[in-house]
Amino acid sequence: MEKMISGKTRLLALIGSPVGHSGSPQMYNYSFKKLGIDYVYVAFDVKEDKVKDALDAMRTFNMRGCNVTMPDKIAAAENVDELSPAARIIGAVNTIVNDEGVLKGYITDGEGFVNNLKDNGVDIKGKKMTICGGGGAATAIQVQCALDGIKEISIFNKNDAFFARTEETAEKIRKEVPSCVVNVFDIDDQAKLNEEIKDSDIFVNATIVGMKPLDDQSVVKDPSIFSKDQIVCDVVYNPVETKLIQEAKAQGCKTIGGKGMLLWQGVSAFKLYTGCDMPVDEVKEKFF
Ligand code: NAD
Report the atom number in ligand 1 closest to the C-alpha of 258. Answer: 41
- The Cβ of residue 277 has, within 10 Å, a number of other Cβ atoms equal to 11
| Residues classed as catalytic | 73
CA–CA distance, 105 with 116 (Å, rounded to integer): 21
43 Cβ contact partners less than 8 Å away, ≥ 6 residues apart = 13, 14, 15, 19, 20, 22, 24, 25
Report the atom number in ligand 1 closest to the C-alpha of 133. Answer: 9
Q: What is the ipTM of this complex?
A: 0.99
pLDDT for 27: 96
Nearest CA to ligand 1 atom 27: 137
Give the relative orientation of helices 259-274 and 24-35 as an angle to the nearest 10 degrees: 50
Cβ(134) to ligand 1 under 6 A?
Answer: yes
pLDDT for 2: 56
Q: What is the pLDDT along the chain (288 residues), one digit of tens a residue?
A: 456 799 999 999 999 999 999 999 999 999 999 999 999 999 999 999 999 999 999 999 999 999 999 999 999 999 999 999 999 999 999 999 999 999 999 999 999 999 999 999 999 999 999 999 999 999 999 999 999 999 999 999 999 999 999 999 999 999 999 999 999 999 999 999 999 999 999 999 999 999 999 999 999 999 999 999 999 999 999 999 999 999 999 999 999 999 999 999 999 999 999 999 999 999 999 998
CB distance 67 to 14 below 8 Å: yes
CB distance 221 to 190 below 8 Å: yes
Cα 32 to averaged position of ligand 1 atoms, centre (Å): 31
pLDDT for 257: 96
The residue count for the chain:
288
pLDDT for 24: 95
Cβ(264) to ligand 1 under 6 A?
Answer: no
pLDDT for 163: 96
Cβ(211) to ligand 1 under 6 A?
Answer: yes
CB distance 95 to 106 below 8 Å: yes
